[in-house]
């Protein structure tokens, strides 16, 4: 069995311990009732960031609009790319992390109607270019299937902690470069799939966001690892991104609870809308438009919710008619 070259450093050991500690605390404190909203929000961030790394110009707000069925003026290929990526991330629980059949299916999700060799290993040579200069050539096409199979065989049999293993797999996919296009997207998705199978919380944690924010370092660590023929620099980088993403997730997902007596008389749909509102900036005005961006509901329906919330003193209405604004009545919070 071919073992990918890497070294377990003290830094890696410490980062793994740190991440596992944070995951334990997060699991204990997370409001499981809000997981459905968090999963969608995370997927939107993951899709937007992973596509943006590949030069997709759509903003997170535009991505959210597309996925909510809104008409967005943008290059058709970029819209398809976003829709494809969302389909792939939405099926994360259905992929088997160490099976080639699943790997190819994921690539098909990502590249359908975009790439000729969709869901297939490439038939020709390919590489990474910068200003028309080749900075990396992938494996010859006749070796790709065998290299990916070896990688997955090693991963399936290895007792290595999946936090490290997922980073090794991510790096090796980028280095083998198994597809004619979509290698970056499939590498990031596949790391998320390995992590999801390790701890389901990773479906809520959009690691791709921090990778995008540190995009140049991401590329630098891949290149450094290639020069050393050892993925340790990339592993350390990815573990650091995972740890910091958990921190960001925790700080952005404060849990507010509404007093039970204030929820009396509300139906299931109205309670769901309130859950979404609790993830908005409660110090700012709450607008119909802001809720519409987060919920797959019509403007008229949301206005009716607002009227109900105001009548029950959940909202405080300020102003009249079109200029009317709303604040959450914080006295209703536990």
198-221 pLDDT tens trace:
999 999 999 999 999 999 999 999
CATH topology of domain 260-332: Arc Repressor Mutant, subunit A (1.10.10)
Q: Is the pLDDT of residue 255 over 70?
A: no
Average pLDDT of span 258-272: 84
Q: What is the pTM of this model?
A: 0.82
The encoded tokens of residue 252 equal 């952005």
By the 8 A CB rule, do 177 and 80 touch? no
User: Please, what is the end-to-end C-alpha distance for the chain in angstroms?
Assistant: 56
pLDDT tens, 275-300? Answer: 778 777 667 788 887 787 777 788 88
pLDDT over 70 at 191, yes or no = yes
Q: Residue 136's pLDDT band (boundaries 50, 70, 90)?
A: confident
* 140-149, 181-190, 307-316: least confident range: 307-316
Structure confidence at residue 252 (pLDDT): 66
Mean pLDDT of the chain: 90
Pseudo-torsion of CA 164, 170, 174, 180, nearest 10°?
160
Domain boundaries 10-252, corresponding CATH code: 1.10.3290.10
Percentage above 90 pLDDT, the chain: 62
Inter-CA distances, 287 with 131, 293, 307, Å: 46, 10, 12
90-to-24, 27, 31, 176, 192 alpha-carbon distances in Å: 24, 21, 21, 26, 12
With cut-offs at 50, 70 and 90, classify the pLDDT of residue 1.
Answer: low
Tokens coding 286? 């709450």
Write the CB contacts of 30 (distance below 8 Å, at least 6 apart in sequence): 201, 204, 253, 255
User: Which is more confidently placed, 35 or 183?
Assistant: 183
The reply to whether domains 10-252 and 260-332 share a CATH topology is no
Q: Is the pLDDT of residue 33 over 60?
A: no
Would you place residue 327 in the very low, low, confident or very high pLDDT band (cuts 50, 70, 90)? Answer: confident
Position 31 pLDDT exceeds 70: no
Domain ranges of the chain: 10-252, 260-332
pLDDT digits (tens, 9 = 90+) for 44-70: 999 999 999 999 999 998 998 898 888
CA dist 272 and 295 (Å) reads 9
Give CA 103 to chain center in angstroms.
Answer: 18
Percent residues over pLDDT 70 in the chain: 95
Distance CA 249, CA 74 (A): 29
Quick: pLDDT tens for 150-186: 999 999 999 999 999 999 999 999 999 999 999 999 9
């Amino acid at each position: 069995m071919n073992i990918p070259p890497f070294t377990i450093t003290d830094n890696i050991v410490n980062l793994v311990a740190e991440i596992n500690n944070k995951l334990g605390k997060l699991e204990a404190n997370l409001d499981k009732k809000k997981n459905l909203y968090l999963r969608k929000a995370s997927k939107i961030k993951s899709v937007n960031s992973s596509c943006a790394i590949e030069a997709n110009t759509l903003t997170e707000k535009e991505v959210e609009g597309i996925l909510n069925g809104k008409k967005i003026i943008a290059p058709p290929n970029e819209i398809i790319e976003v829709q494809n990526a969302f389909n792939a991330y939405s099926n994360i629980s259905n992929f088997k992390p160490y099976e080639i059949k699943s790997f190819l299916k994921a690539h098909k999700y990502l590249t359908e109607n975009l790439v000729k060799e969709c869901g297939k290993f490439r038939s020709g040579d390919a590489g990474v270019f910068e200003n028309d200069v080749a900075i990396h050539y992938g494996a010859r096409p006749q070796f790709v299937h065998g290299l990916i199979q070896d990688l997955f065989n090693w991963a399936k049999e290895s007792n290595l902690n999946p936090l490290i293993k997922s980073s090794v797999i991510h790096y090796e996919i980028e280095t083998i470069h198994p597809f004619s296009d979509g290698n970056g997207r499939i590498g990031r998705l596949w790391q998320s799939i390995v992590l999801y199978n390790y701890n389901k919380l990773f479906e809520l944690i959009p690691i791709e966001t921090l990778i995008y924010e540190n995009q140049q370092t991401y590329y630098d660590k891949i290149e450094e690892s290639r020069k050393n023929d050892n993925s340790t620099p990339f592993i350390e980088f990815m573990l650091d991104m995972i740890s910091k993403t958990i921190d960001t997730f925790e700080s952005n997902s404060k849990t507010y609870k509404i007093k039970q007596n204030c929820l009396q008389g509300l139906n299931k749909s109205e309670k769901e809308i309130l859950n979404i509102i609790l993830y908005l900036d409660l110090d700012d005005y709450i607008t119909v438009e802001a809720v519409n961006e987060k919920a797959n509901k019509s403007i008229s329906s949301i206005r009716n919710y607002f009227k109900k919330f105001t009548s029950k003193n959940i909202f405080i209405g300020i102003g009249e008619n079109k200029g009317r604004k709303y604040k959450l009545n914080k006295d209703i919070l536990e």
